Amino acid sequence: MEFLHILILALVQALTEFLPVSSSGHLVLASLFLGWDYQGLAFDLALHFGTLLAVLVYFRSDFLALLLEVLRWRPGHVLNPMQRLALGLALSTVPAAIVGLAMGEAGANLLRHPLTIGFCLVLFGILLGLADRNARGNGVRQVAADADFVEGANAVFAHMSLRQAFLIGCAQALALIPGTSRSGVTMTAGLFLGLTRAAAARYSFLMSAPVMVLATAHGVMELVLSEERVVWGDFALGALISAIAGVVVIHGFLKIIRRIGVMPFVIYRVALGLGVLVWYFLAR
């Protein structure tokens, strides 16, 4: 692959994986409009591996604390907030894992259609905007969380129920449809379920790691079975660019969420989705 090809796809992956705008939808549209063929399973795996590294690096202290608390738990003891958060994250992963296995690659390919992407960009963009408006109306809790972003989010996690975690996990399963956005739909569900922006954004990032681990493991298995030749230079470069860009995007997005919410992304999603739909019907 050419360097420019690798660079563009890696940056698109990093930007759209963590911003609530749909990474799968943007990768399909980028290849469609630029006239590129599918980059192959190996490079696709490299991009996802890079964004997984970005999450693990940025939230390394959170994941280490969660691991230590899980190891400290003993049967018969009441779960503390961090242990409840770990259980909630595990529970949130189950729906997406089940739906992903049931859908398979054939089902996923059927959904990679411009009409599906455009419709989902608009629909789930509007829902995200409504959820953000609902969070702004929850003034007292929002101000309390914004006073200290991390501590505010952790304070909400302490009172988060396993039912809420499971429902957010069900929403995450919808992200298998291109144009939906994993981060967008999980934040939407979290905001509608009463989480603050801080908690919804942070939980969305934390719950992305288990799903990315499963997706990466599945990709490795498929790659081994396919016997596709791996160009390790392209793999390493794609993973490195998406990892570095991913860390920058996570940091920037959390700052934007804290200050102005998600409305800029809602406007972008709706505009892009309508543009894709108009293009699709005019091109027929």
- Report d(CA 244, CA 261) in Å as an integer: 24
Amino acid 50: pLDDT: 94
DSSP assignments along 129-191, one per residue: HHHHHHHHH-HHHHHHHHHSHHHHHHHHHTT--HHHHHHHHHHHHGGGSTTS-HHHHHHHHHH
Which pTM was predicted?
A: 0.86
- Report d(CA 188, CA 41) in Å as an integer: 30
Q: Which tens digit of pLDDT belongs to each residue from 82-138?
A: 888 899 999 999 999 999 888 876 666 678 788 999 999 999 999 999 999 887 655
Quote the domain boundaries for residue 194.
3-73+80-283
Residue with the bigger pLDDT between 183 and 258: it is 183
Domain count for the chain, please give it.
1
Other CB atoms within 10 Å distance of the CB of residue 214: 15
**How large a percentage of the chain has pLDDT more than 70?**
90
pLDDT at 144 over 80: no
pLDDT at 147 over 50: no
Q: Which tens digit of pLDDT belongs to each residue from 46-96?
A: 898 999 999 999 999 889 988 998 999 898 888 888 888 899 999 999 999
Residue with the bigger pLDDT between 25 and 116: it is 116
- Report d(CA 274, CA 179) in Å as an integer: 12
Residue with the bigger pLDDT between 40 and 266: it is 266
Q: How far is CA 284 from CA 30, 87, 115, in A?
A: 19, 48, 12
